[in-house]
Amino acid sequence: MTEQFEDLNLRPELAQAIATLGYTQPTPIQSGIIPLMLAGHDVTGQAQTGTGKTAAFALPILERIDPNQYLPQALIVAPTRELALQVTEMIQALGQFMDVRVLTVYGGTPYNQQLNQLRRGVQVVVGTPGRILDLIKRARLDLTEVRTVVLDEADEMLSMGFVEDVEAILAATPVERQTTLFSATLPSRIRELARRYLRDPKLVSVTPEQVTVSSTEQRVYYVNEFDKLAVLTRLFEMEEISSGLIFTRTRVRTGELVNELNLRGYPSEALSGDLSQEAREHTMARFRAGQVRVLVATDVAARGLDVEGISHVFNFDLPEEIETYIHRIGRTGRAGRAGVAISLARPSERRQIRQIEQFTRQAIVEGTVPTAEEIQAKRLDGLLDKIEMWLKRGRSKEERALVETLVASGADPIELAAAALKIARAEEKQRPIPEISPLPEKAVRPERRARSERTDRASSAEPRDRKPKAAASPAKPRASIRGKQSDEEGMIRLEMGLGKVDGLRPSDVVASIAGIAGIPGNALGRIYIQNHRTTVDVSEEFLEKVVSANGKFKVRGQSFTLTRG
Ligand code: AMP
């Protein structure tokens, strides 16, 4: 098994793209598939979405592309338009430093653009079976140079009734082609398809980590990034947490969250990698003994934390990997007790949640954040329960004597009880119910309006926004007609309405813009990600190409446009 990308000896352009995308190690399916495909074998890959299967076949295809040949060299058949687009996005991201021509073809769209691109020459075609077959029949798609065919999500294609189309497509490709088939499941019909069309295929199978997440109640709350703490404290009010484990993305966030929770009246402790082994053991022991009810940790810090019967796992930040999610929530509901796993996700993370659902084949129910009224009612219920309990117990001898003395000296019993309740509720005041902002209206996504709405809340972070404006000096006459001048010669500064709160990273920005606009990654210069917007410097030479791709840009599931600020 290949443990490192370097061992695969990929072209430097691919190694650069892998690094830009932030992949550090091949996933198991990639370790298995890539060397086999590079060696020319036919392969059956049993893998679901989320395992890295797309890059597993995209990398060998890109590695073996002949840059001087402009007839399709690889054909990827996918059951749906959405998947076809995702595959294209991945190929473009991985091929961002290679100048590779990829065409996506699917039904329901006019032929013109697809035909034009075919005329100009393409190297990789990704599409749905119906439209591919259509183009073959119209003699518009020349498959004579195809060396690799990928059937992606073959089980889906079969269940959607595409088997005959797929067979007809395969018949139009050269017999000496390499054929690979990817499928989440391998029922007999898939095995039969593989037997008929693949030559001595090797099987690489990645089955999900065997864990029982079925006894865990999984919920997700979609929230603004800056509201996560507020939502967490609201949930603390409503949930019966006997022991809770909160996962954050970084060590710094762990510390911050613990401080904030304690300040707001929700005691918690950090399980940090910074602590000495002894201190960690001590914290874990106190957690096990129930002296600490809530622990906040990163995945790394929580390694080796073996505690039975955690009632709640909170994903304050979603993990990067699905396996990590499963590992985290596998800690709840042990010893026969049902646990609750709650994820706080940004609206832009819907896709990740869907992928986790597909992977685990379990539903993650979308919850509604408790309202202030619900919390008040719950607090009142709690108070009444306590009163009832003490009335039943009847062991308030000293207090009873005190009441008798006060009533004897003229106090009204009802007034007295009200005053006592007031005192009893004083600690609630330590936990004011925090405000929560509505989510931005995603469908319309009027970026500027959403941004100005958020500005009030995140005002402390906003002053940084002004910096690039100052850098783009209005004194330069070209700025007004050509867009903002970057600090760098020959670069133009463009702006987009997504930022840190949308989870943007520089690698996403490069992959998306370069991939979708079809420009080399090094045509992009400085990228400055602020909370709610991002500026990107683009080489003047490629400016038109980038601006004309507006309407197509997408990153982390969200569309964006690039404007000249
Ligand atoms: P897929 O299973 O192809 O849908 O990929 C799932 C996700 O994994 C995608 O968002 C990829 O960007 C990401 N991914 C693919 N390969 C790697 C890798 N080696 N390391 C980290 N993430 C990866």
Measured in Å, residue 27 CA sits from the centre of ligand 1 at 8
Distance CA 423, CA 420 (A): 5
Tell whether ligand 1 has an atom less than 6 A from the beta carbon of residue 54.
yes
Measured in Å, residue 56 CA sits from the centre of ligand 1 at 9
Report the residue among 3, 6, 27, 182 best suited for mutation to probe ligand 1: largest number of ligand atoms under 8 A from its CB.
27
Least confident of 109-118, 169-178, 211-220, 263-272: 211-220
Q: Does residue 79 contact residue 160 with C-beta atoms inside 8 Å?
A: yes
Nearest CA to ligand 1 atom 15: 52
Measured in Å, residue 23 CA sits from the centre of ligand 1 at 8
Tell whether ligand 1 has an atom less than 6 A from the beta carbon of residue 208.
no
What is the chain's mean pLDDT, rounded?
83
Q: Does residue 14 contact residue 59 with C-beta atoms inside 8 Å?
A: yes
Classify 273 in phi/psi space as left (phi over 0), alpha (psi -120 to 50) or beta: alpha
Confidence of residue 462 (pLDDT cuts 50, 70, 90): very low
In the structure, how many helices (H) and strands (E) does the chain have?
23, 20
Q: Which atom of ligand 1 is nearest to the CA of 5?
A: 19
Question: What percent of the residues of the chain are helix, what percent strand, and what percent coil, each to the nearest 5?
Answer: 45, 15, 35
- The closest of 457, 465, 419 to 438, measured between CA atoms, is 457
**Res. 409: pLDDT tops 50:** yes
Instruction: Check residue 478 and give its pLDDT.
Output: 28
Measured in Å, residue 320 CA sits from the centre of ligand 1 at 9
Confidence of residue 234 (pLDDT cuts 50, 70, 90): very high
Confidence of residue 6 (pLDDT cuts 50, 70, 90): very high
Instruction: Check residue 126 and give its pLDDT.
Output: 97
Classify 376 in phi/psi space as left (phi over 0), alpha (psi -120 to 50) or beta: alpha
Query: 417: how many CB neighbours lie within 10 A of its CB?
Result: 12
Tell whether ligand 1 has an atom less than 6 A from the beta carbon of residue 52.
yes
Q: Provide the 8-state DSSP code for 199.
A: S
Q: Does residue 470 contact residue 507 with C-beta atoms inside 8 Å?
A: no
Instruction: Check residue 448 and give its pLDDT.
Output: 31
Asked whether the domain spanning 450-564 has the same topology as the one spanning 216-372, the reply is: no
Cα–Cα distances in Å, from 381 out to 237, 238, 344, 368? Answer: 12, 11, 26, 20
Least confident of 382-391, 432-441, 503-512: 503-512
Question: Domain 5-205 in CATH: superfamily?
Answer: P-loop containing nucleotide triphosphate hydrolases (3.40.50.300)
Query: 518: how many CB neighbours lie within 10 A of its CB?
Result: 17
Architecture of domain 216-372: 3-Layer(aba) Sandwich (3.40)
Cα–Cα distances in Å, from 161 out to 49, 130, 402, 520? Answer: 21, 11, 81, 39
**What number of CA atoms fall less than 13 Å from residue 455's CA on the CB side?**
14
Nearest CA to ligand 1 atom 18: 23
pLDDT (mean) for 168-188? 92
Domain ranges of the chain: 5-205, 216-372, 450-564
**Res. 449: pLDDT tops 50:** no
pLDDT (mean) for 414-440? 89
pLDDT (mean) for 164-168? 94
Query: 341 forms bridges with which residues in the sheet?
Result: 218, 313
Nearest CA to ligand 1 atom 11: 52
Measured in Å, residue 345 CA sits from the centre of ligand 1 at 19
Tell whether ligand 1 has an atom less than 6 A from the beta carbon of residue 51.
yes
Tell whether ligand 1 has an atom less than 6 A from the beta carbon of residue 78.
no
pLDDT in tens, 266-299: 999 998 777 777 888 888 888 888 889 999 998 8
**Res. 346: pLDDT tops 60:** yes
- The closest of 345, 351, 321 to 556, measured between CA atoms, is 351
pLDDT (mean) for 351-359? 86
Distance CA 47, CA 40 (A): 20
Measured in Å, residue 381 CA sits from the centre of ligand 1 at 47
pLDDT (mean) for 380-384? 89
Distance CA 325, CA 487 (A): 42
Distance CA 199, CA 41 (A): 8
From the candidate CATH numbers 3.40.1390.20, 3.20.20.70, 3.30.70.330, 3.20.170.30, the one assigned to the domain spanning 450-564: 3.30.70.330
**Is residue 183 exposed (0-12), middle (13-18) or buried (19+ Cβ within 10 Å)?**
buried
Q: Which atom of ligand 1 is nearest to the CA of 47?
A: 2
Measured in Å, residue 506 CA sits from the centre of ligand 1 at 17
Instruction: Check residue 482 and give its pLDDT.
Output: 31
Least confident of 182-191, 382-391, 469-478: 469-478
Classify 50 in phi/psi space as left (phi over 0), alpha (psi -120 to 50) or beta: left
Strands 124-127 and 102-105: what pairing? Answer: parallel
Q: Which residue has the higher pLDDT, 63 or 530?
A: 63
Q: Which atom of ligand 1 is nearest to the CA of 86?
A: 4
Instruction: Check residue 403 and give its pLDDT.
Output: 94
Distance CA 22, CA 44 (A): 27
Burial 480-517 (b: 16+ CB within 10 A, else e): eeebbbbeeeebbbbbbbbbbbbbbebbbbbbbbbbbb
pLDDT (mean) for 390-408? 89
Q: Does residue 89 contact residue 553 with C-beta atoms inside 8 Å?
A: no
**Res. 518: pLDDT tops 90:** no
Tell whether ligand 1 has an atom less than 6 A from the beta carbon of residue 129.
no
Measured in Å, residue 145 CA sits from the centre of ligand 1 at 29
CA angle 72, 33, 41 (to 5 degrees): 65
**Res. 214: pLDDT tops 60:** no
pLDDT in tens, 89-135: 999 999 999 989 999 999 888 888 889 999 999 999 999 999 999 99
The residue to which tokens 């106090």 are assigned: 411
Measured in Å, residue 208 CA sits from the centre of ligand 1 at 15
Tell whether ligand 1 has an atom less than 6 A from the beta carbon of residue 49.
yes
Q: Which residue has the higher pLDDT, 192 or 520?
A: 192
Cα–Cα distances in Å, from 461 out to 111, 125, 455? Answer: 47, 44, 9
Q: Does residue 531 contact residue 458 with C-beta atoms inside 8 Å?
A: yes
Classify 309 in phi/psi space as left (phi over 0), alpha (psi -120 to 50) or beta: left
Tell whether ligand 1 has an atom less than 6 A from the beta carbon of residue 23.
yes
Distance CA 464, CA 530 (A): 8
Q: Report the chain's C-alpha Rg in angstroms.
A: 29
Nearest CA to ligand 1 atom 14: 52
Instruction: Check residue 446 and give its pLDDT.
Output: 38
Tell whether ligand 1 has an atom less than 6 A from the beta carbon of residue 91.
no
